Chains A and B, each alone.
Chain A
């Protein structure tokens, strides 16, 4: 008997080549297509099976690919990642979900001491081709434990790759690449962008994804390369380095400031597309870095140091950082904390005048 539930998604003949998708649908499509293609790909996490995930990213995967391919996990982030590491060592390509990046810390030992170091410490005898997906970032009144951006805790760890998409097209292409990557990938999904781009003008209505070119997503398989930035907008005055939700905030901030900024969506923090960064800053002579995470020892510090090391003689102003404050993420002060377009615009204007 043919199991209708196991029919691969990509076989549906009526599927159009490209369809408008929000980020959730794009991520779901990446998982669906990879699971149909490769029986060694499986997905699990808290509420990620039958229910399809609290953000619906794994919706319908269990029904379509079966109970053992997409299943629910105990509330144990350490256990989820450890099981994935064991599966990866066996030869599978597990994609696990940590419900919120704020809850990835119980798995930190497994990620840092194990997944990141398996290849190195065993001289390649054992590897960890796993993907850890996790919704991250603020701007949703998530308070302290539903808003964090812990990327710098992972970019600091040799052996990990860190990917953060900012739109549906990249989300699918990068997740597909992450699943195929032979190294452990931390894949942070800006939950503020799940249903539409968000530019930080929080009092204005949010536009849906379908109006955006980057929401036109191929229904079949494609890859976006890990380690390549995307120039979201070319410009000549100043380079903005950003990722995740801050890509859209930076675009809005540049417009608000009336500055011709070159906006670079890094997309992957490790490995970093240093060539694109270097070429842009050498062209513009100015650099503003924008991220949601707190400032001190945030990824912006690394970016600033790299730009200073490589573009020192081209710089016409100090490198500026627009970031979250060095506080826990607050609830009531969401918009004072969140680095919005006005703060980006101020930094751009100051940078154009030669610094603050």
Chain B
């Protein structure tokens, strides 16, 4: 027999705090003050640091001062390198977004507001370590000095595209720069990163892996598989969750982030978790260093939730004004990563507005120069690799089918 309830059942569908036309409302966020979260020893058992999954590691305060136990105490030169890489990443994004509007490519995705994450982490780990990025970690390549012109060649699918016109723009690949080939299938790279780290451990190597996944894609089964394998085999890997609040038009509550944090998901797997202000270059740096030390000393994986905000549209095919308040990014309480690091360097007396202006100008010029070089080869449709290459590298060697089909195309 059916059992009656005290009230009729109802289905809850989470909704964000603001929709188009609403005033942005971030009053529900519980943000720790800079310096407020303690820094546990790297050897701390995951069981003993569960609070960290619900706190927010922050270093830079509102005056641009680095405070608290997580201050990585970076020298000014490193800070300037990080700032310049973030400025360059934003300049690159702006130009390529425009290139799409000008019809020079079919697609682009910016990482506006998230620059600190890939840039800091790309600087900390070496090219020998393998990064398993999503499509929003272009800062990793830029921080490591990957040629901008090669990124553009890939975006234009021109004759000099390092991956021969086979992939959608921004799906970069570079073994040399520790940047694993990007896939359109979300989440797949996270358990692969764990496997890569397992291989390094198996060989007694001293390299580690680092992966990224967005808040939305944590709902994929691959995320669960990755955490399980990372914990079971104590894989030397850093598992980042970039929580930028939005998965295209779905707010992070649809991914299961409303009543808990993404960092907290690590707890059930027995993995340590850190939750970090993703717009605070120093906090990102310090947390990554903590996780890096843990991995390198054979103590296993760490999950880091990087709390940030996706400032730009999801992609050039997206219009955020149809699902969120137009000025939500401006009201984001954790500000902008470039502005915050700039303020810090100025507070240290190691930077000035004039230097900032010059650096921005220089970045635009650098991007423009690369653009000229790449566009001289050709934008989408003007130039492309030989059609013959379409049939290559499906396998190590072409089988008879591919040879026949290639001939059918007449190449």
Task: Say whether, besides A79-B229, A121-B173, A121-B181, A91 and B199 are in contact (CB < 8 Å).
Answer: yes
Q: Is the CB of A82 within 8 A of B185?
A: no
- Give the CA-CA distance A126 to B175 in the complex, in Å: 7
Given the known inter-chain contacts A92-B199, A126-B181, please indicate yes or no for A227 contacting B399, CB distance below 8 A.
yes
A52-92 CB contact bits vs B (8 Å, 1 = yes)?
00000000000000001000001010110011111101111
Given the interface pairs A82-B192, A83-B192, A118-B181, the reply to whether A74 lies near B232 with Cβ below 8 Å is yes
One of A106-114, A228-236, A340-348 at the interface: A106-114
| B174 and A125 form a contact (CB under 8 A) | yes
Contact: A42 with B202, CB < 8 Å?
A: yes
Given contacts A87-B199, A121-B171, A127-B396, whether A113 and B183 have CB atoms under 8 Å apart is: yes
B53 at the interface (CB under 8 A from A): no
In the complex, which of the residues B166, B195, B395 contacts A123, with contact meaning CB atoms closer than 8 Å? Answer: B166
Contacting residue for A87 out of B173, B174, B198, CB 8 A: B198
Min Cβ gap B192→A in Å is 4
Q: Which residues of A contact B200 (CB under 8 A)?
A: 90
Q: How far is the CA of A79 from the CA of B171 in the complex (A)?
A: 23
Chain A residues with CB under 8 Å of B163's CB are 121-123, 125
A114 to B193, CA, bound (A): 13
B-side contacts of A124, CB under 8 Å: 393
A164 → B minimal CB distance (Å): 17
Report A230-272 CB contacts with B as 1/0, cut-off 8 Å.
Answer: 0000000000000000000000000000000000000000111
User: Does B196 sit within 8 A of A, measured CB to CB?
Assistant: yes
**Contacting residues, chain A, for B394 (C-beta < 8 A):** 119-120, 158-159
Q: Which of these, A90, A114, A118, A159, contacts B196 with CB under 8 Å?
A: A90
Among B181, B184, B188, B196, contact of A122 (Cβ-Cβ < 8 Å): B181
Cα of A123 to Cα of B154 in the assembled complex, Å: 12
Check if A74 sits within 8 Å of B166, measured CB to CB.
no
Residue interface mask B283-326, A partner, CB < 8 A = 1: 00000000000000000000000000000000000000000000
- A182: CB under 8 A from chain B? yes
CA–CA, A6 and B180, complex, Å: 34
> Given A76-B228, A123-B173, are A89 and B222 also a contact pair (CB < 8 Å)?
no
CB <8 Å contact, B396 and A83: no
> Quick check: A86 and B199 within 8 Å, CB to CB?
yes
B-chain residues with CB within 8 Å of residue A82 when the two chains form the complex? 188, 191-192, 194-195, 222, 225-226, 229
In the assembled complex, the Cα of A297 lies from the Cα of B196 at a distance in Å of 36
Determine the residue in chain B with the shortest Cβ distance to A274: B400
Q: Does A183 contact B (CB under 8 A)?
A: yes
The answer to whether A85 and B202 have CB atoms under 8 Å apart is: no
The verdict on B383 contacting chain A, using a C-beta distance below 8 Å, is no
Residues of B within 8 A of A90 (CB): 130, 195-196, 199-200, 203
Interface residues on A, range: 35 or more
- Bound: A86/B233 CA distance, A: 14
Is B197 close to A, CB under 8 A?
A: yes
B164 part of interface (Cβ distance < 8 Å): yes
Asked if A86 and B192 make an inter-chain contact with CB atoms under 8 angstroms apart, the answer reads: yes
Task: Check: B162 CB closer than 8 A to any chain A CB.
Answer: yes
Q: Which residues of chain A from 139 to 194 have any CB-CB distance to chain B below 8 Å in the complex?
A: 158-159, 161, 181-183
Residues of A within 8 A of B166 (CB): 120-121, 123
A83 proximity list for chain B (CB < 8 A) = 191-192, 194-195, 198, 229
Q: Is B221 an interface residue (CB 8 A)?
A: yes
B366 within 8 A of A: no
* Min distance, Cβ B347 to any Cβ of chain A, angstroms: 42
In the complex, chain B residues whose CB is within 8 Å of the CB of A182: 396
A residues in contact with B57, CB < 8 Å:
none
Q: Across the interface, do A125 and B183 meet the contact criterion of CB distance under 8 Å?
A: no
Q: Which residue of B lies closest to A126 (CB)?
A: B181
Interface assignment of B282: CB less than 8 Å from any CB of chain A = no
Q: Which of B180-234 contact A (CB under 8 A)?
A: 180-181, 183-185, 188, 191-200, 202-203, 209, 221-222, 225-226, 228-229, 232
Residue pair A121, B167 in contact (C-beta under 8 Å): yes
Distance in Å from the Cβ of B199 to the closest Cβ of chain A?
4
Residues of A within 8 A of B221 (CB): 78, 106
**Highest count of chain A CB atoms <10 Å: which of B166, B188, B194, B199:** B199
Closest to B389 in A: A123
What residues of A have a CB within 8 angstroms of the CB of B393 in the complex? 119-120, 123-124
Cβ-defined contact, A79 with B191, below 8 A? yes
Contacts of B193 in A (CB 8 A): 86
The chain A residue with its CB closest to the CB of B184 is A113
Give chain B residues whose Cβ lies under 8 Å from the Cβ of A79.
191, 194, 225-226, 228-229
- Most chain A CB within 10 A, of B181, B198, B395, is at B395
CB within 8 Å of A: which of B42-75? none
Q: Which residues of A contact B203 (CB under 8 A)?
A: 90, 92
For the complex formed, measure the closest distance between the CB of A38 and the CB atoms of chain B, giving whole angstroms: 13
Considering only CB atoms, which chain A residue lies closest to B209 in the complex?
A86
Complex interface: chain B residues within 8 A of A42 (CB): 202
How many whole Å from A180's CB to the nearest CB in chain B? Answer: 11
A25 to chain B, nearest CB (A): 27
Q: Are A114 and B228 touching (Cβ within 8 A)?
A: no
- Report chain A residues within 8 Å CB of B181: 118, 121-122, 125-126
Across the interface, do A161 and B395 meet the contact criterion of CB distance under 8 Å? yes
Task: Name the distance in Å between A141's Cβ and chain B's nearest Cβ.
Answer: 31
Footprint of B on A, CB under 8 Å?
42, 68, 74, 76, 78-79, 82-87, 89-92, 106, 109-110, 113-114, 117-127, 158-159, 161, 181-183, 227, 270-272, 274
Interface residues, chain B, with chain A CB atoms under 8 Å away: 130, 132, 162-164, 166-167, 171, 173-175, 180-181, 183-185, 188, 191-200, 202-203, 209, 221-222, 225-226, 228-229, 232, 393-396, 399-401
A-B contact pairs, 17 of them (CB 8 A): A42-B202, A74-B225, A76-B228, A76-B229, A78-B222, A79-B225, A83-B192, A83-B194, A83-B229, A85-B195, A87-B198, A89-B195, A90-B203, A110-B188, A119-B394, A122-B163, A183-B395
8 shortest A-B CB distances, which residue pairs?
A: A86-B195, A83-B195, A82-B191, A79-B225, A90-B199, A122-B181, A86-B196, A86-B192
